[in-house]
């Protein structure tokens, strides 16, 4: 078996290849469709099974991972950037270049447990891309609203600037509606996504907008992942910090995971605390036990993600009594 580490940048792929016998080789390919084809031919020409490690760098690494995963002889592992950074620190790597990163990826795939990456369907990738773009547009709208608000206090501001801000805000709002409509059409045209979507919106705090974003992130995950793995994937698992008898820091959110899913869960959890009595009872109980409001809200996000896993796995809508039994229900 040969092992390969690939460092991905916007324009190039730096490849370190270790054949079963022989010396390590360094190759460079363009990060284009044609460059991906050349790399696939190079890795498969010997007919040997190949394991490849690629760092998760968003759209830049997605296309090469998809191209490699389509080759029968190749297994791909997409490595969490934080995990790779910690691995490099453990090896006392002080430099960070494309060549060094490719070397670290090669050593990572040789030494660490191999977890093969399962490529999602094009429809699920499209839904995830739309969900993330919706979040980007929302950020842009917030920024432009803040600029327009600040402009209202500047008497000397040119009217053309104020008009441009208002025009841009309207354009962004229209684009937000167009993308949301595209996402709904995509979901309605695929029965599996449609059923998952309808189950998600049965959850308090999750409406159409947030359901599109959450479903886009969850739909690409392997079916065998459990609820605790979902929580770790979102980076909302608690991280303890204890050392000896004197260092005991309070547990904190690890943040070692998918920042998009973590962000998309925040507002639904906040709305659910305000609107659903079962979720609010769980939140209030945590506050009564001494948790800070933000700590309690993160715990709600974590429990909400557990609930979503059960909803999608067992194909049943949200049931508040399973989230938290109310005391009035017990008394009755």
Per-residue pLDDT of the chain (332 residues; tens, 9 = 90+): 899 999 998 889 999 999 988 888 999 999 999 999 999 999 998 888 999 999 887 777 888 999 999 999 999 999 888 788 888 888 888 778 888 889 999 999 999 999 888 888 999 999 999 999 999 999 999 999 999 998 888 878 888 988 999 999 999 999 999 999 999 999 999 999 999 999 999 999 999 999 999 999 999 888 888 888 899 888 888 776 555 555 556 667 777 778 899 999 999 999 999 999 999 999 999 999 999 999 999 999 999 999 999 999 999 999 988 888 887 544 44
Residue 332: per-residue pLDDT:
46
Residue 242 to residue 251: CA distance in whole angstroms: 9
Query: The domain at 2-111 falls in which architecture?
Result: 2-Layer Sandwich (3.30)
**19, 31 contact by CB (below 8 A):** no
Token readout for 50 is 């190949």
pLDDT number for residue 89: 87
Do residues 55 and 105 touch, judged by C-beta distance below 8 A? Answer: yes
Instruction: Give the bridge partners for 76, in sequence order.
Output: 52
**Distance, CA of 122 to CA of 174 (rounded, Å):** 26
Question: Is residue 57 classed as helix, strand or coil in its secondary structure?
Answer: coil
**Per-residue pLDDT, 206:** 96
pLDDT at residue number 193: 95
pTM tops 0.85: no
pLDDT at 248: 57
Give residue 92's pLDDT.
82
Rounded Cα distance, 323 and 272, in Å: 11
Q: Which of 122, 114, 100, 117 is nearest to 26 (CA)?
A: 100
Instruction: Please give the pLDDT value at position 273.
Output: 95
């Amino acid at each position: 078996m040969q092992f390969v580490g690939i460092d991905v940048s916007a324009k190039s792929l730096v490849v370190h290849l270790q054949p079963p016998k022989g010396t390590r080789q360094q190759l460079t390919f363009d990060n284009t469709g044609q460059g991906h084809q050349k790399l696939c031919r190079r890795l498969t020409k010997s007919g040997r099974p190949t394991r490849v490690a690629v760092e998760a760098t968003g759209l830049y690494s997605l296309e090469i991972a998809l191209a490699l995963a389509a080759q029968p002889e190749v297994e791909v592992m997409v490595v969490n950037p934080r995990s790779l950074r910690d691995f490099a620190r453990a090896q006392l790597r002080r430099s960070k270049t494309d060549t060094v990163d490719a070397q670290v990826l090669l050593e990572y795939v040789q030494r660490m447990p191999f977890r093969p990456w399962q490529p999602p369907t094009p429809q699920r990738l499209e839904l995830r891309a739309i969900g993330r773009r919706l979040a980007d547009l929302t950020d842009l709208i917030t920024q432009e609203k803040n600029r327009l608000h600040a402009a209202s206090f500047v008497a000397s501001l040119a009217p053309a600037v104020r008009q441009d801000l208002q025009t841009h805000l309207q354009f962004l709002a229209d684009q937000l509606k167009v993308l949301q409509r595209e996402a709904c059409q995509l979901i309605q045209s695929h029965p599996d996504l449609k059923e998952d979507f309808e189950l998600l919106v049965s959850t308090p705090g999750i409406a159409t907008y947030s359901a599109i974003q959450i479903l886009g992130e969850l739909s690409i995950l392997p079916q065998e992942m459990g609820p605790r793995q979902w929580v770790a994937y979102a980076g909302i698992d608690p991280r303890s910090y204890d050392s000896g008898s004197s260092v005991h820091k309070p547990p904190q959110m690890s943040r070692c995971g998918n920042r998009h899913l973590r962000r998309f869960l925040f507002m639904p959890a906040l709305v659910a605390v305000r609107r659903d009595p079962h979720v609010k009872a769980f939140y209030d109980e945590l506050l009564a036990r001494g948790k800070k409001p933000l700590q309690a809200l993160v715990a709600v996000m974590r429990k909400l993600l557990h609930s979503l896993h059960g909803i999608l796995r067992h194909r049943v809508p949200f049931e508040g009594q399973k989230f938290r039994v109310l005391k009035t229900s017990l008394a009755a």
